[in-house]
Structure 1
């Protein structure tokens, strides 16, 4: 991809982004190195980070099909995701959830 920018501004942005990323990560190392115990409110809030990240990664792939939003009976991935969510709610087993979700997806895609 060609741009009108020369190599100096491009490298300056790359270095600035790297320094900013390093500073943000280093600040947490410094912060948690100075405190003896993580407050209970922070611990409670951090419990919700993995499910939120997982939902942010998975939800777009369930809803967006071929570049457009597809919410309805024609979206096999969304239906299989709903079935997998229901199974994980009751079974509480990762292996069972993945297995049922994949079997549902395959059945919806190739049989129905």
Structure 2
């Protein structure tokens, strides 16, 4: 009996905070300035993740040619400036990463 009570409590505690933002979405009016500011959140988070994972190696700043993550990011960035096609950008980035890892 205690196991079922525990499972029910965990279900409620897990479901409630996940449902509330969606359940209240139509009832809460977000100010236009906040809505405009929230459009920058995905790119800011993605930039933070990419920067941290490509520039920091073993706790130190790694701005050298032996950093294959950095070479892949730079090649993908240049490809994005030229192509602006997601498939091409991802393919070039992965190819650059694999070649740099294999050659270095």
Normalising by structure 2, report the TM-score: 0.65
Q: CA deviation at 1:29?
A: 6.7
Structure 1 residues 72 and 51: alpha-carbon distance in aligned structure 2, compared to 1, 3 A threshold: same
Equivalent position to 1:45, from 32, 37, 62 = 37
What is the aligned length? Answer: 92
Equivalent position to 2:79, from 77, 84, 87 = 87
Structure 1 residues 105 and 32: alpha-carbon distance in aligned structure 2, compared to 1, 3 A threshold: same
Structure 1 residues 33 and 105: alpha-carbon distance in aligned structure 2, compared to 1, 3 A threshold: same
Q: CA deviation at 1:58?
A: 1.7
Equivalent position to 2:98, from 90, 103, 106 = 106
Q: Which runs of 4+ in 1 moved over 6 A?
A: none
Considering only aligned residues, what root-mean-square deviation do their CA atoms show, in Å? 3.0
Q: CA deviation at 1:42?
A: 2.2
Q: CA deviation at 1:31?
A: 8.2
Structure 2 residue aligned with 1:33: 27
In the alignment, the residues of structure 1 paired with residue 50 and residue 65 of structure 2 have an alpha-carbon distance, to the nearest angstrom, of 19
Structure 1 residues 81 and 39: alpha-carbon distance in aligned structure 2, compared to 1, 3 A threshold: same
Asked which structure has the greater RCO (Cα within 8 Å, sep 6+), the reply is 2
Cα distance per residue 1:47-80 (max 9 Å; x no partner): 2111111111221110122333211222111121
